[in-house]
Amino acid sequence: MARRPRPSAALAAYLGLSAALLPALAPLVLRRRLARGKELPDRWREKLGHATAPRPNGPLVWMHAVGLGEVLALRALIGQMHARHPDLQILITSTTRASAEVLAANMPPRCRHQFLPLDTPGAARRFLDHWRPDLAIWAEQDLWPGLVWRTARRGIPLALVGARMNARAYRARARVAPLYRDLFARFALISAQDVDTAAHLKRLGADTVREDGSLKPAAPPLNADAAALAAMRTATKARATWLAGPTHAPDEALALAAHRARLASDPNALLIMAPRDPSLRDQVEQACADAGLRAALRSTQPQPTPQTQVYIADTFGEMGLWYRLVDVAFIGGTTGPVEGHNPWEAAQLGAAILHGPRTANFAADYAALHAANAARRVDDADTLAAALGAPDTADMATRAQGLATRSMDRTAALCQELCRLIPTPHRSPT
């Protein structure tokens, strides 16, 4: 699709306001976040465009995603792009501290991570001057208008992949539809996860939209430390162990109630609770105490003891360990306003998937899993407790793994189109 050489009135207004207000506010906001532990002390200036790593030689693709799940999903593209383009270097950007810390334990080869610069003229200039990407890929739904415009103005091809936009997100963006129409016109490729997202993008002004599904089921499985996994398997041997995670307060209340019911029939059962925000460990530990359950923290106790009833996984980067350890996982975020977390990480590692009723963020994913009888919805503690002991959980897990494997074909087709956007001097034969 043709790129507009000049910004529309809507984009020009955004660029003017961001140039006037953000440069002075950005350092103040970042220092306040640093004081609260929300930024890494040695890397917060990356958000002002100051790189903390050198640019590697050769062609470089810049991939951006907001948070943890989206960043890990990018690995589905990275592996296939490397297979087609062996000398390709990848720069991954994100915005959250958790995404950086977990990605460090799951970093593909020839990749490096930086935090996305704030949407100010100076930060964008420093970032683009240093990294000089040959292709920019934005994932899911986070677009920073100034960065998109400044990237396109330098002649760098842009792609939007794994786009996800439910009805509520569409209504919010429809209020500034002229801005999105301008932004979408600057993308050479736009790929949606599902038919509803594709329709929403077209209503916002996107011209041609592909439908390639979610990247998440095609991403490589999360890593796990082999020694830690062996130690945990020894510690939980002969115990019926299940996982709830990544959890929020409503998920935790449901899981603890279900675990109490399960302990009535199996006093040796063990629940591993992995809170989405490990810094809330004290609240989770108190919830366990209020439920009359004996809890231990991963951060202070390397393995659960025979007396531990709930083991709180209050560490970053170990979800691959927990999914490998258990046969059944209750996926968090599905009982409250979060509207669901990624079920595919559990599916890839052989855990049967249970979830609550609220899955709007992954509606297409859960629909596909249910169509294959590869996941089960639970609505309360009683149905969750019953599902934990269902005889078909192993079959459910096998079917979910099969779906994840088949999704790689669609990702391969998308990868081929992305590789064609890399400028000709750097492009490998496809």
3-state secondary structure the chain: CCCCCCCCHHHHHHHHHHHHHHHHHHHHHHHHHHHCCCCCCCCHHHHHCCCCCCCCCCCEEEEECCCHHHHHHCHHHHHHHHHHCCCCEEEEEECCHHHHHHHHCCCCCCEEEEECCCCCHHHHHHHHHHHCCCEEEEECCCCCHHHHHHHHHCCCCEEEEEECCCHHHHHHHHCCHHHHHHHHCCCCEEEECCHHHHHHHHHCCCCCCEECCCCHHHCCCCCCCHHHHHHHHHHCCCCCEEEEEEECHHHHHHHHHHHHHHHHHCCCCEEEEEECCHHHHHHHHHHHHHCCCCEEECCCCCCCCCCCCEEECCCCCCHHHHHHHCCEEEECCCCCCCCCCCCHHHHHCCCEEEECCCCHHHHHHHHHHHHCCCEEECCCHHHHHHHHCCCCHHHHHHHHHHHHHHCHHHHHHHHHHHHCCCCHHHCCCC
Distance separating alpha carbons of residues 269 and 201, to the nearest angstrom: 47
Angle at 120 (CA atoms; ends 118, 126), nearest 5 degrees: 85
Side-by-side strand order, sheet with 328-331: 295-297, 310-312, 270-275, 241-247, 328-331, 352-355, 375-377
Nearest to 331 by CA among 373, 274, 381: 274
Which of 39, 70, 140, 285 is labelled catalytic? Answer: 70
70 annotated active-site: yes
Rounded Cα distance between 17 and 15, Å, is 6
Compute the distance between CA of residue 80 and CA of residue 76 in angstroms, rounded to an integer: 7
Residue 275 one-letter amino acid: P
Q: How many CA atoms lie within 13 A of 89 on its CB side?
A: 14
Catalytic site residues?
Answer: 70
